[in-house]
Structure 1
Amino acid sequence: MFAIVRTGGKQYRVAAGDKIVVEKIVGDAGSTVSLDDVLLAGEGSDLKDVSGLTVSAEIIAQAKGEKVIVFKKRRRHNYRRRNGHRQQHTILKITAIG
């Protein structure tokens, strides 16, 4: 069985046992979270009713993404700015759908 869930402004297709990387969710490694915003669920080509359906997941780790360099420059004005950013992520393991 699979489900489409929305978290952090993005949508993910998940099934039991999958590992996904999402925007930061509050919690420690080993704790369980429930993803309530289920958009679609089904098995094979059959779709199921999603009212009251939740997806349970376990937090594996809190991590940081790759560094992104933000470089601004204006020609002929001696203006250069270099800034870096590392986005916070949460790694989830889907335990159950239902």
Structure 2
Amino acid sequence: MFAVLKTGGKQYKVQAGDVLRVEKLDAVAGEKIQFNDILMVDTTVGAPLVAGAAVQAEVIDQIKGEKTIHYVKRRRKHSSQRTKGHRQHLTLVRVTEVLATGADKTGVKAATGTAAARVAAHEAPGTAKAEKPKRAAKAAAAQE
């Protein structure tokens, strides 16, 4: 059984046992995660996603990709040049199971990227920033 999943702005065709290098996920090595954005499972095509489908995977490691070199040179009479390098952060995962139905009842942590995890933590209830003491004192004085 195969599935097409979406993560990190890319789509991957996977089946049990495949090893993937995906954009960095908020998970540690050895943790079990679940991809819920499934576009297709065998012959079932989603509109846009297949309801109740999921792909479960185990995180192998957090790695860095190959270095890409970007060379910048100014034109004509300017003798400046610069070399910039970048290594993308990736997560190595091994697909363990493709579920066509029943994804919501498994209880496995959903795979989220680091940016999505930051936004979710920021918007979570009870994590509002405390008001600064000086501002609180000024507000209390203004009300009196």
TM-score w.r.t. the length of structure 1 is 0.91
SS at structure 2 position matched to 1:22: strand
Percent identical: 47
Structural RMSD (CA): 1.0
**Counterpart amino acid of residue 39 in structure 1:** L
Matches of 1:12 and 1:6 in 2, distance apart? Answer: 6
Q: Aligned pair 1:36/2:36, yes or no?
A: yes
Which residue matches 2:3? 3
Larger relative contact order (C-alpha < 8 A, sep ≥ 6)? Answer: 1
Distance 2:41 2:74 in 1: 50
Determine the structure 1 residue equivalent to 2:17: 17
What is aligned with 2:44?
48
The count of corresponding residues between Structure 1 and Structure 2 is: 94
Runs (4 or more) in structure 1 with deviation over 6 Å come to: none
Q: Give the corresponding residue for 1:57.
A: 57
Other-structure match for 2:115:
none
Larger Rg: 2
From the two aligned structures, give the one with the greater helix fraction: 2
| Cα distance in structure 2, aligned partners of 1:68 and 1:52 | 39
Is 1:93–2:104 an aligned residue pair?
Answer: no
